[in-house]
Structure 1
Amino acid sequence: MSNMSQDQTGLDAVTREEQELRQPPRYKVLLHNDDYTTMDFVVTVLETVFKHDTDSAHRIMMSVHKEGVGVAGVYPRDVAETKSAMVHNLARKHEYPLKCSLERE
């Protein structure tokens, strides 16, 4: 066997390249329905934190309202955690119990 196609770890060049190109896992940021947070506030959160246009924000808000949960966006873990914290801080500031969670895609 030739050493030209393998390095000291025993991985060939193609395997190393596949490992290097693998995307990090992504996480859905989910908004959960409650009986107190207003629809307008959810739309505002979707527009400001997640940068959705008004139509998209309204569709997601209706999903939260009707189905109990809606996907606000999908991001790498650190971005998803930051956006989730932003939602909780904004909700707390406005005295809403809006819950946000992460789910691995």
Structure 2
Amino acid sequence: MKFSDPDQEGRYSMPANTGLSEKTEIRLKQPKQYKVVMYNDDFTPMDVVVEILIDVFRKNYEEAVAIMMTVHKGQRAVVGVYSYDIAMTKAARAVKIAREQGYPFRVEVES
């Protein structure tokens, strides 16, 4: 049995020749998105924060510096919005990199 192509709203439907009397729709939902939030501290050097933003969050140098300055001046900044698993993985990697260098870096995932 082969499904039809999705319609404009992303819905799929069963072909009419299946012998079923009802048409069944399958709707795919986008996964809930979570914010990865980076917090300022007085110990983690700015270059380490920039390195994490480039390596973990795939920011270019200019974006990384801008986000780092936002964190530095405003105490926190959203560094990305991802599905739950990706957000948790990126947050854990960021903290691990900083902790391996001896810094008390703080990153949280918010809904």
C-alpha offsets along residues 16-62 of structure 1, whole Å, 9 cap, x if unaligned? Answer: x4xx3211101111110001111111111000000100010011101
Higher relative contact order (CA 8 A, sep 6+): 1
Could you state the TM-score of these two structures normalised by the residue count of structure 1? 0.80
In structure 1, the residue matched to 2:105 is 98
Aligned length: 91
Query: What 5-or-longer segments of structure 1 have no aligned partner?
Result: 8-12
Could you state the TM-score of these two structures normalised by the residue count of structure 2? 0.76
Higher fraction of helix = 1
Secondary structure, counterpart of 1:27 in structure 2:
strand
Q: Residue 67 of structure 2 aligns to which amino acid in structure 1?
A: I
Identify the match of residue 61 of structure 2 among 34, 54, 68.
Answer: 54
CA RMSD of aligned residues (A): 1.3
Structure-2 separation of matches of 1:74 and 1:56: 15
In structure 1, the residue matched to 2:70 is 63
| Structure 1 runs of 4+ with >3 Å offset | none
